[in-house]
Amino acid sequence: MSHTYKFPRPSLTVDLVVFGSSNGGDPDHALLIRRGKDPFKNHWAIPGGYFDMADESVEAAAARELREETGLDVPIERVKQVGVFSRPDRDPRGRVVSTAHYTVVSDMPSVKGQDDAKEARWFPISQLKSLPLAFDHKEILAESVLALLSRITRSVP
């Protein structure tokens, strides 16, 4: 017997902000992809995509999407949750809730746009505010930068 629910279920996506360093010090860059498909075709965005309900955690989904879109592989245990983004109009495809994460990598590894990402590129954090971004990714980036700053200040003696 299968279960059906009277309540609609939204789609679940994951986003992963990746921070890197251009000088071996504190992270000063973030990785973005240029979307190859609508919605927001050709816009810059955070790597991410749909969660696979069958067999993965949201952290594993975020790491998988990053690998598929940029070729960059990060350990799941280094993927830290930033928050849940659920504004009803955040995605023109329908009701989509995203679990956003961040991670920090050493230096800025080589990346290449793959799968549904046309391009992948590192941007100085100082330039992120002026970039037009897809979805609500400006808000996710802002929260991720705050989480990163909190992490950095906790490690300062």
Query: Which domain CATH number covers 103?
Result: 3.90.79.10
Report if residue 111 sits inside a domain: yes
Verify whether residue 119 is a known catalytic residue. yes
Domain assignment of residue 6, yes or no: no
**pLDDT recorded at residue 2:** 65
Q: Is residue 50 part of a domain?
A: yes
- Residue 29 domain boundaries: 11-155
Provide the pLDDT confidence category of residue 143 given band limits of 50, 70 and 90: very high
At 133, the pLDDT band (50, 70, 90 cuts) reads: very high
Q: Determine, yes or no, domain membership for 116.
A: yes
Three-state SS string across the chain, please?
CCCCCCCCCCEEEEEEEEEECCCCCCCCEEEEEEECCCCCCCCEECCEEECCCCCCCHHHHHHHHHHHHHCCCCCHHHCEEEEEECCCCCCCCCCEEEEEEEEECCCCCCCCCCCCEEEEEEEEHHHHHHCCECCCHHHHHHHHHHHHHHHHHHHCC
At 77-129, the pLDDT tens digits run 999 999 999 999 999 999 999 999 999 999 999 999 999 999 999 999 999 99
Total number of domains in the chain: 1
On whether residue 3 sits in a domain, the answer given is no
Q: Which of 56, 68, 119, 139 is catalytic?
A: 119
Q: Does residue 2 belong to any structural domain of this protein?
A: no
Residue 157 pLDDT grade (very low, low, confident, very high; cuts 50, 70, 90): low
For residues 15 and 123, give the distance between their C-alpha atoms in angstroms, rounded to a whole number: 17
> Per the domain annotation, does 77 fall within a domain?
yes
Q: How confident is the model over 61-74, as a mean pLDDT? A: 98
Is residue 117 included in any domain, yes or no? yes
pLDDT at position 1? 55
